[in-house]
Chain A
């Protein structure tokens, strides 16, 4: 069955520390992978996407993610977290010709001053 797992419901890091949010997927076809961020009271905003090519993808706000096919993972990283990054992050998977995305359950990030 197709699925996306975000193992960490909550993550707490100190401001300035590095961040890694985990995303694992189970998908029969070659996946398209996405990370979205959701600020309170707002919709989901695309951080970055992977369709093909370079497995290290750069996104907005200093985020990056790496597609590792052997591990079925697409983890989101940021070298130095800012207090404004505290919000919820969603991983999603789709594929060419598939119109549905499967979303993970989200990881809520807390940033300590």
Chain B
């Protein structure tokens, strides 16, 4: 059973560039979550989807961040333009329903120079 798959695993880019992170949730999971992890702020929930619909994006830090889920098997998190303070590990997680635990991908380590 494949877990949550994220790509790329590592991304290094220059400030001002557009960054797109990708996530494939576990098949059959109706909920998808994007998190950001930093040393200073720990694990922060950015946005989550239910049945491909964004439900709560209150954690998205700025308008530079956007997320989409065009179908049940794919989601993207985009940062445009990127800034050095966006450097972090970004995790995607999925869950079958509210009474089940979340399953995390291995994350994308993003470095903005």
Once bound together, how far apart are the Cα atoms of A111 and B56, in whole Å?
39
Task: Say yes or no for B103: interface residue by CB 8 A criterion.
Answer: yes
Report B78-113 residues with CB < 8 Å from chain A CB.
91, 93, 95, 98-99, 101-107, 109
Q: Are B43 and A103 in contact (CB under 8 A)?
A: yes
| A27 in contact (CB, < 8 A) | no
Q: Are A34 and B101 in contact (CB under 8 A)?
A: yes
Q: Is B31 an interface residue (CB 8 A)?
A: yes
Interface residues on A, range: 20 to 34
A98-B98 contact in complex given A43-B4, A106-B42, C-beta closer than 8 Å? yes
The total of Cβ contacts below 8 Å across the A-B interface reads 49
Contact partner of A49 (CB less than 8 A), chosen from B101, B105, B109, is: B101
Contact yes or no, A100 B56, CB < 8 A: yes
Q: Are B99 and A96 in contact (CB under 8 A)?
A: yes
Evaluate whether A46 and B101 lie within 8 angstroms (CB atoms) in the complex, with A41-B106, A100-B45 already known: yes
Instruction: Beyond A98-B98, A101-B102, list 20 extra A-B contacts (CB 8 Å).
Output: A41-B107, A41-B109, A43-B4, A43-B91, A43-B106, A43-B107, A44-B43, A44-B93, A44-B104, A45-B104, A46-B102, A51-B99, A94-B98, A97-B98, A99-B50, A99-B56, A99-B98, A100-B56, A106-B42, A106-B43
Contacts A/B (CB < 8 Å), 20 sampled: A41-B106, A41-B109, A42-B107, A43-B4, A43-B93, A43-B104, A43-B105, A45-B104, A49-B101, A90-B43, A94-B98, A96-B98, A96-B99, A99-B31, A99-B48, A99-B50, A99-B95, A100-B48, A105-B42, A106-B42
Hey, which bits of chain A sit against chain B, CB under 8 A? 32, 34, 36, 41-46, 49, 51, 90, 94, 96-101, 103-106
